[in-house]
Structure 1
Amino acid sequence: MTDRVVVAGALYDGGRLLAARRSAPVELAGRWELPGGKLEPGELPEEALVRELREELGVETEPLARIPGEWPLKPGYVLHVWTARLVSGEPRPLEDHDALRWLGPDETDTVDWLDQDRPAVAEAARLLRESGGRVGRRL
């Protein structure tokens, strides 16, 4: 059986990375994650990412590149993370989150990330540091 893919976005804007604090389900509440969600049948990962970030944050985004690797979630699910840039809108916690924080590349260890997000967050922060904060800048 193939694992079902869950996509998450390492969303960049202004030299910072967006973190979202979970409000549900109860076992994840209070922990931070890269926002995203499950692919729908026939949907490409990039399409799912754009849709999920619109639903969860009320923003339009552009996927940039997939961060290498995949991380197991609950049985039958695997996490793929994409870098993305904010195209329009201001992120708001609309679904499954109660707070958002923009973090500089050296601030990513100041929140309690979900375990499966930690490797992708480390890579996203490295990309941000190496680019001098230019990854994902609005055009």
Structure 2
Amino acid sequence: METRIVVGGALIHRGRVLAARRSAPPEVAGYWEFPGGKAEPGETQQQALERELLEELGVRARALRELPGRWPVRPGLELRIWAAELVSGEPRPLEDHSELRWLGPGELHDVDWLEHDREVLPHIAELLTGTV
């Protein structure tokens, strides 16, 4: 079985990162994540992330770099999280999310993250504080 990639975007703007609260599916509703989705056949991870952020949040973003770590979501599906920067637009929860929140370095643990997303928080903190 070929593994399909799911890209999550740690969208960074003015020293903060965007967290999105899931509204669906029921097993993850209420938890927070870095928004994104599945890469389509023939799409690079960067293209997939930029498309997904436009579809889910209504913003234009630029994928910067893949963060360390890869997580199996379910058989045949693997999550990779990318740092991205906001290029234009104001994020709105258009699909699968009920709330958005910008978090600074000291606020990263203020929301209840999905487990995979929580594991990348140390890397996000480094990006936000400029220690990378």
TM-score by length of 1: 0.91
Partner of residue 25, structure 1: 25
Partner of residue 99, structure 1: 99
Letter in 2 for 1:47: Q
Any idea what SS the aligned residue of 1:106 has?
helix
| TM-superposed deviation, 1:57 | 0.1
Partner of residue 68, structure 2: 68
Worse overlay, 56-65 or 118-127: 118-127
**Corresponding pairs, count:** 132
TM-score by length of 2: 0.95
Letter in 2 for 1:108: L
CA distance, structure 2, for counterparts of residue 123 and residue 103 of structure 1: 14
CA distance, structure 2, for counterparts of residue 3 and residue 65 of structure 1: 20
User: Map of 1:53-92 to 2, 5 A cutoff?
Assistant: 53-92=53-92
* 1:3 and 2:3 correspond: yes
CA distance, structure 2, for counterparts of residue 122 and residue 19 of structure 1: 15
CA distance, structure 2, for counterparts of residue 116 and residue 75 of structure 1: 15
| TM-superposed deviation, 1:75 | 2.1
Partner of residue 43, structure 2: 43
How well do the aligned residues superpose, as a CA RMSD in angstroms? Answer: 1.2
Letter in 2 for 1:46: Q
Runs of 5+ unmatched residues, structure 2: none
Worse overlay, 43-52 or 119-128: 119-128
CA distance, structure 1, for counterparts of residue 118 and residue 2 of structure 2: 24
* 1:120 and 2:120 correspond: yes
Q: Once the two structures are aligned, what percentage of the paired residues are identical? A: 60
| TM-superposed deviation, 1:69 | 1.6
Letter in 2 for 1:87: V
Contact 1:10-1:121 within 8 A present in 2 as well: no
| TM-superposed deviation, 1:122 | 2.4
Q: Structure 1 segments of 4 or more deviating over 4 A?
A: none
